[in-house]
Homo-oligomer: A and B are copies of this chain.
Amino acid sequence: MKTRKLTLLLAVSLGLTTSAVAEQYSTERHTVEMTTLTENLSHPWGMTFLPDGSMLVTERSGTLNHISADGSERTKISGTPSVVAKSQGGLLDVNIDPDYKQNGWVYISYSEPNQEGGDGNSTAVMRGKIDDGEWTDGEVVFRQAPKYESNAHFGSRLVFSPEGHLFITLGDRYSRMEDAQTLDNHHGKIVRIWPDGSIPEDNPFVNDDEALDEIWSYGHRNVQGADIHPDTGELWAIEHGPQGGDEVNIPEAGKNYGWPTITYGEDYGGGEIGIGTHKEGMEQPFYYWLPSIATAGVTFYTGDKFTQWQGDLLVTALKGQQISRLDLEDGRMIHEEHLFKGDIDFRIRDVEQGPDGYLYILSDQDNGRLIKLSPAK
């Protein structure tokens, strides 16, 4: 606890310091100021805003933080579930219930150890409430099946549809990539459930005895980014491809997005994957990156602060160290801008729009940061 207090004081002091020297970056349509609100976050992964403007921010190592709107105060929530914090696994996304003000539910995704013991793990989603800094009433609403021994490709983004469904994006667990094409498992799938874990009766495979009822779409690799289109209400999902071939998809009920049978990427080292880029019955992406930028989090921008970015899709990149801005008009992409590319030296795990219309990003570092983006005055 002593260490934590010291860190807190340090964060406050650094917060003030860095705020004073906020850096500016030129982009095509806005000059953007980056202000570090919080430092010393260990690989922060997901964040969401509470009604009072404060934030919940996860650290992959297992900590759920409650951070004040200006970043100066940080509280660790105690009692969250244990996670398999190895490689890509750990505590991942966090979101709040659409009716949070009434019911107080908070949802977290994480790599859950096998409850029956052994080395297997998989992505699970728990909901719980936060009472005076403590996680209470926890209940698991989804468990990716089967458990499998792998520390990679957990997917894990949590988004709510306008009708209140919870979409959970998943990964193929890397060495189980072939499972993405079969429906008797949750590898390489996007699933749709009600927030209490029950199955929507209009899910595409509820009447198929050989398919798992939670499945919404399949043939995905590692879907780490997702958001709901502000006008159409559709789910947009961004998946991390192999070497080349990161994809934006607009997953529709029951459709097959091709992995690993078709892809625009190639294997690390240069080998061919699958049969090529097209196959009957498999969907083409909305957009793909080649070479890969290593996509992660994503948000549509709908605020009033970055007026020239309204309606655009912002996609964070890990290896690519940038935010890709897809300039969207009437559902078409008319231009791509690589924000901050070559100007920053950190990977970006997530981006969210705050209730204030500013943008907030998480840097994927040992000493990771919560950074506020605002247009320069």
Contact = CB atoms under 8 A, between A and B. Distances in A.
Interface in A245-304: 264, 277, 284-290
Contacts of A286: 332, 334
B335 A290 contact: yes
A335 B330 CA distance: 18
A284 B335 contact: no
A202 interface: no
Contacts of A287: 333-335
Interface residues on A, range: 20 to 34
Nearest to A277: B308
B337 A288 contact: no
B28 A290 contact: yes
Contacts of A277: 308
A333 B330 contact: no
Nearest to A245: B335
B334 A284 contact: yes
Contacts of A332: 286, 332-333
A77 B284 CA distance: 48
Contacts of A333: 287, 332-333
A212 B329 CA distance: 31
A309 to B, nearest CB: 11
Given A28-B290, A287-B335, A288-B334, 8 more contacts: A28-B244, A284-B329, A284-B330, A287-B334, A289-B335, A290-B335, A290-B337, A333-B333
Interface of A: 28, 244, 264, 277, 284-290, 308, 329-330, 332-337
